[in-house]
Chains A and B, each alone.
Chain A
């Protein structure tokens, strides 16, 4: 158990809909990262938050957004869903310094299926 929790575990929805994925980092971790893993693909970095502020953006679509709240939990919002958004979405957190040499600890993921 990494200490990172994600809800829900599974999500099935229809095209055009909007969903919210939730992540609680390990106790004390200030950085939260979101990744997408599509079929046969590696993990694609989407976005990073550090202590409530957006720190870096990766390959995140404009239809997607995220935020980190004062209690450090984070939410990833996916809107106008398309079939191609079906994937595993992982959240990770890292130690308080937010520096580059801190290992990231991953949650169990949310499997999103868009029908």
Chain B
């Protein structure tokens, strides 16, 4: 049973336009969410995170939006650059309960930014 879902395996965007990557979760105990970027032959790299007490967090070109009622979050990249081409993983964590601190990952979305 997948607790974190990224329903789009791939996304193609033109350079300079907005990239929107989506993520849904089912476990209402999740209260911290992260996005990781992964290039081939490298480990995932932390990108941006958001706590459940917020609905938006911004860091430069990257913004994460959280809709708790819909159990949905999204990552916006504006403007998209060719160097952003990578696999993006959404992850969630619960601050209480036996699994606190552990990240549950989605399967990833492969973003291709075309020049």
Residues on A facing B (Cβ under 8 Å): 2, 4, 31, 33, 35, 40-45, 48, 55-56, 58, 90, 92, 94, 98-109
For residue A1, give the distance in angstroms from its CB to the closest CB of chain B: 10
Q: Report the stretch among B55-63, B76-84, B101-109 that lies at the interface.
A: B101-109
A2 and B89 CA atoms in complex are apart in Å by: 17
One of A45, A101, A103, A108 near B46 (C-beta < 8 A): A103
Q: Cβ of B43 and Cβ of A103 under 8 Å apart?
A: no
For residue A105, give the distance in angstroms from its CB to the closest CB of chain B: 7
Residues on B facing A (Cβ under 8 Å): 4, 6, 32, 34, 36, 41-46, 49, 51, 89, 91, 93-95, 98-108
Chain A residues near B108: list those with CB within 8 A: 42
For residue B40, give the distance in angstroms from its CB to the closest CB of chain A: 11
Chain A residues near B49: list those with CB within 8 A: 103
Q: Cβ of B32 and Cβ of A56 under 8 Å apart?
A: no
Q: Cβ of A108 and Cβ of B95 under 8 Å apart?
A: no
Q: Cβ of A31 and Cβ of B101 under 8 Å apart?
A: yes
Q: Cβ of B32 and Cβ of A104 under 8 Å apart?
A: no
Identify the closest chain B residue to A101 (Cβ): B32
For residue B24, give the distance in angstroms from its CB to the closest CB of chain A: 13
Q: Cβ of B105 and Cβ of A42 under 8 Å apart?
A: yes
Q: Cβ of A100 and Cβ of B34 under 8 Å apart?
A: no
Which of B6, B32, B51 gathers most chain A CB within 10 Å?
B32
